[in-house]
Structure 1
Amino acid sequence: MIETSNDSLPTPEGVLALVRPGGARGLRAWDAADALLLDTAHDYLREQPDARVLVVDDAFGALGLGLARARPDLVADNATLASALRANRARNPGCPPVAAPSDWRAPPSGPYDLVLLRIPRQADYLGWLLRWLNGVLAAQGRLLAGGMIKHLPDRSVALFAEAVRTDTVLPARKKARVVVCRRGEARLADWPDTWKGYRLDDGLTFEGLPAVFSRDRLDQGTRRLLPWVARAVAALPPQARMLDLACGNGILGISALVRRPDLMATFVDVSSQALMSAGHNLARACPGVDAAFLHQDGLAGSEGPFELILLNPPFHDGGAVGDHIALRLLRQAAQRLAPGGRLLLVGNRHLGYHRSLRRWFSRVRQLDADPKFVVFEAGRS
């Protein structure tokens, strides 16, 4: 029996050493669903070695690298996959090269004989994915959809029944499940739930694609932050540089641009569907106003400096909950803030961001609070 460590994934092709770039200590880069998907896929590929393979929403490269000899195409909403693939291929020098992943702004085209899908936690996103996959799966192709049972979305059985034809539900293994499917008749063109949204009291409407956080309602943290955004942009000089970091549907940055269309705005998000949603909403709210949209995990390049940074940081990382993403974004924001600039942040009260802010900012002030959320302003001398 092969001995493995916590970061080692046994696969039919050998053991992969995998890390989770940018994650908190103790979070693993693979789980039992990855292992079960790989075992099932290799059984299929032994009979169909020339199959054209697609991997959808691989998290940190376990599936892409585990199937590298099959030369799969990869598409993922999350920008972290690209950096994870680079890091993990370097840790596994015997692994064949893997193609760079695409995202939903320019997805690959089929037909594919075999598709591996990590089942998302969001029910709407699963419904969207299954309908999109029906358009790229070959007539006799197979879809292997897998996830950890505790993370499967509500109504997942009904969602599969509505969209695809299920051949087999494999026995659970280490609390993971894989469903083997064929393509169904449902298509995105006939689905009414691709976009969902809401209207603000001032008449602005915001819509989001299925992978976007709080796409059909204004989340309470953003509601608490919005009045302070309006006050902050009123004090900015002409053509000041503004960053909406972890922008989601773009509500913070777009609300600023409605008041100050002269601002030089940048929207950053790890989700390609979030950026698509922000661009869609900007075009409707501010026709003719240009902005930069960056699909990346935080501030990875030479962006900035910015006179104003807006941030409602995520605290979910897949199935993990914590402040490790927010702390990384705060550190990056401090490095990109212009002299005299300000960061506006809303966060969950229990995460204690006031302590973290003081690590990187010399000026920290609480602006507002309720029992769940706190709004801070921070700057550097």
Structure 2
Amino acid sequence: MTSDTLQTPKGALTLKRPGNTDRSLRAWDATDELLLEQMYARMPEGVGSRVLVVDDQFGALTLGLSSLAPESLADSASLSEALVLNGRLNGEVSVAAPKSWLTPPEGLFDVIVMRIPRQLDYLSWLLRWANEVLAPDGVLIAGGMIKHLPDRSAEVFSDLVQTKQVCPARKKARVVICGPGEQGLEGWQGQWKGYPLGEGGSVSGLPAVFARERLDIGTRLLLPDVRQAAAKLAPGSRVLDLACGNGVLGLEALAAQPALSVMFSDVSSQAVASARLNVERLAPDVEARFCHGDGVPEDAGAFDLILLNPPFHEGGVVGDHIALRLFQQAARHLAKSGQLLMVGNRHLGYHRSLKRYFPVVTQLQADPKFVVFSARHQSLGAGRS
């Protein structure tokens, strides 16, 4: 069992992961500790500086810096719920709701406090964006767990910002202090990357999007079943592309039956922006909605078909905890006669997990690494909703 208490320069914070039942998963790490220490060493209270926190995980940075009234920006929608939960756990600490890349805050900022992401392209995105919104004498304080830093991250920092200090590593984490560089996002060819899809089309994704440069092999295995299931749906049927990424599964359903009503939902704001761009470009006349959220919106209603390739990692944590939450939500929002189609890593044993929430689970496809399942509330011959 791990501790829920983070000691900060301003006192103790109690932090939990929303919806988590695994007590071994902590809601903060040494990166948060070191970033808070460095921030308060450089920013005494009352100096009136504008502070931005980027990609806080569960509120340690935003709440730990609450006395400085920071703004918060995160790609992940899960931060919103975490800030509410952990704000209550710490005496009703109130902070503004975080913004996302769908509606990022405008500069200029005196200080940006940032967790270094695992993806090298996303790190390049963040540093280029920081260069555009930092004040000329502004400071970037960036940190990460050493084992999670992307390869060549030091080279990217050297190329894009002015590295002023590399702090000594502590507790397997490292923090760097930087000034703004000159290169921004405009004209950067790495901002969008993609691959061909179907006849004459292609899909693109922003840097934080999973498998943005090539079709994921699990998704490839699932696509034939998506086409087959979508083609059988009546016009106007409701489809959910859950954890949509760049929107490939929902687009495949629309290619088979253009008269569907499709919702694209993802915890990543860059994924939602990417899916929206791809739908506007490849299927501009369809009925589509886009949701930046941690799973299925509570008011989403029922769906006739739900498509899912669930993430199996969250930051540095690998497992089935995200998939289990998505299965539970999908079960609540699947129409009585509807179907969930999903693909997952064979070793995670999703056939057992799915049976917790769906009475009828059928294996449709398999290869050495991935398995495709169909999950329903009732068998095909049991009547219709």
Q: How far does residue 362 in structure 1 lie from its aligned partner after superposition? A: 1.5
Q: Which of 40, 43, 47 is the aligned partner of 2:41?
A: 43
Aligned to 1:66: 64
**1:301–1:47 CA distance, 2 compared to 1 (3 A):** closer
1:103-154 deviations in Å (ceiling 9; x for gaps): 0011001111111000000000000000000000001110000000000001
Aligned to 1:301: 298
Letter in 2 for 1:82: S
Secondary structure of the residue that 1:359 maps to in structure 2?
Answer: coil
Distance 1:100 1:334 in 2: 29
Distance 2:296 2:284 in 1: 27
Q: Given the two structures, how large is their TM-score scaled by the length of structure 1?
A: 0.97
Letter in 1 for 2:89: R
1:158 aligns with 2:152: no
Q: Is the 8 A contact 2:242 2:295 kept in 1?
A: yes
1:312 aligns with 2:330: no
Q: Which of 268, 287, 291 is the aligned partner of 1:290?
A: 287
Distance 1:238 1:287 in 2: 17
1:124 aligns with 2:121: yes
Report the number of matched residues. 376
Q: Is the 8 A contact 1:241 1:304 kept in 2?
A: no
Secondary structure of the residue that 1:190 maps to in structure 2?
Answer: coil
- More off after superposition, 108-117 vs 288-297: 288-297
**1:76–1:106 CA distance, 2 compared to 1 (3 A):** same
Distance 1:155 1:22 in 2: 35
Q: How far does residue 299 in structure 1 lie from its aligned partner after superposition? A: 1.6
Letter in 1 for 2:197: L
1:263 aligns with 2:260: yes
Aligned to 1:249: 246
Q: How far does residue 290 in structure 1 lie from its aligned partner after superposition? A: 3.0
Secondary structure of the residue that 2:356 maps to in structure 1?
Answer: helix
Aligned to 1:27: 25
Q: Is the 8 A contact 2:116 2:123 kept in 1?
A: yes
Letter in 2 for 1:133: A
Q: How far does residue 201 in structure 1 lie from its aligned partner after superposition? A: 4.9
Secondary structure of the residue that 2:229 maps to in structure 1?
Answer: helix
Aligned to 1:84: 82
Distance 2:297 2:175 in 1: 35
Aligned to 2:381: none
Q: Is the 8 A contact 2:46 2:68 kept in 1?
A: no
Q: How far does residue 191 in structure 1 lie from its aligned partner after superposition? A: 1.1
Aligned to 1:200: 197
Q: How far does residue 282 in structure 1 lie from its aligned partner after superposition? A: 0.4
Q: Percent identity?
A: 58
Aligned to 1:272: 269
Distance 1:135 1:290 in 2: 36
Distance 2:280 2:52 in 1: 32
Q: Given the two structures, how large is their TM-score scaled by the length of structure 2?
A: 0.96
Q: CA RMSD in A?
A: 1.2
Letter in 2 for 1:87: L
Distance 1:15 1:90 in 2: 14
Q: Is the 8 A contact 1:258 1:285 kept in 2?
A: no
Would you identify which runs of 4 or more consecutive aligned residues in structure 1 move more than 2 Å?
200-204
Letter in 2 for 1:184: G
In the TM superposition, 1:165-204 aligns within 5 A as 165-204=162-201
Q: Is the 8 A contact 2:259 2:287 kept in 1?
A: no
Q: Is the 8 A contact 2:45 2:67 kept in 1?
A: no
Distance 1:48 1:142 in 2: 17
Aligned to 1:139: 136
Secondary structure of the residue that 2:177 maps to in structure 1?
Answer: strand
1:255-304 deviations in Å (ceiling 9; x for gaps): 11122121011111000000000000001110222311111101241212
Q: Is the 8 A contact 2:343 2:372 kept in 1?
A: yes
**1:94–1:293 CA distance, 2 compared to 1 (3 A):** closer
**1:157–1:299 CA distance, 2 compared to 1 (3 A):** same
Q: Is the 8 A contact 1:134 1:183 kept in 2?
A: yes
Distance 1:320 1:375 in 2: 23
- Residue segments in structure 1 that go unaligned for 5+ positions in a row: none
Q: How far does residue 380 in structure 1 lie from its aligned partner after superposition? A: 0.5
Q: Is the 8 A contact 1:23 1:325 kept in 2?
A: no
